[in-house]
Amino acid sequence: MFEIRAMQAPWRRGIEFMATDDNLIGRKIEFDLPVNNGISIEPTFSLSMQQAQTLMDDLWNCGLRPTEGTGSAGALKAVERHLDDMRKIVSKKLEVNL
């Protein structure tokens, strides 16, 4: 099964990637085809949704976040906790069970 993984490499100030396929390890990608406008080309590689999720999780664990991560799970969880706190305050102040 094809797999691509990412690991933080602070000694290089970046992220390193390793591609494997069953018992094979990928090597450095080289670019050798000229780009011609209007010609359809095959992707360098593709990932299943699960493989892409694993890569995203690896990048998250390396400390990378979406540039515009306003809808991140952490932010949503914080809002949910805040709303729960507000419900408790209102319930206590109005002496009502919500």
The answer on pLDDT for 71 being more than 80 is no
**Chain mean pLDDT for the chain:** 85
pLDDT for the residue numbered 98: 66
* Spatial distance between the Cα atoms of 47 and 44, rounded to a whole number of angstroms: 11
Contact 6, 17 (CB under 8 A): yes
pLDDT at residue 59, rounded to an integer: 93
Integer Cα distance of 97 and 89 in angstroms: 11
pLDDT in tens, 11-51: 888 999 999 988 888 888 888 878 888 888 888 888 899 99
Cα–Cα separations (whole angstroms), residue 93 to 41, 86, 87, 88, 90: 65, 10, 10, 9, 5
What are the residue ranges spanned by the domains of the chain? Answer: 2-64, 71-98
C-alpha–C-alpha distance, residues 79 and 98, integer Å: 18
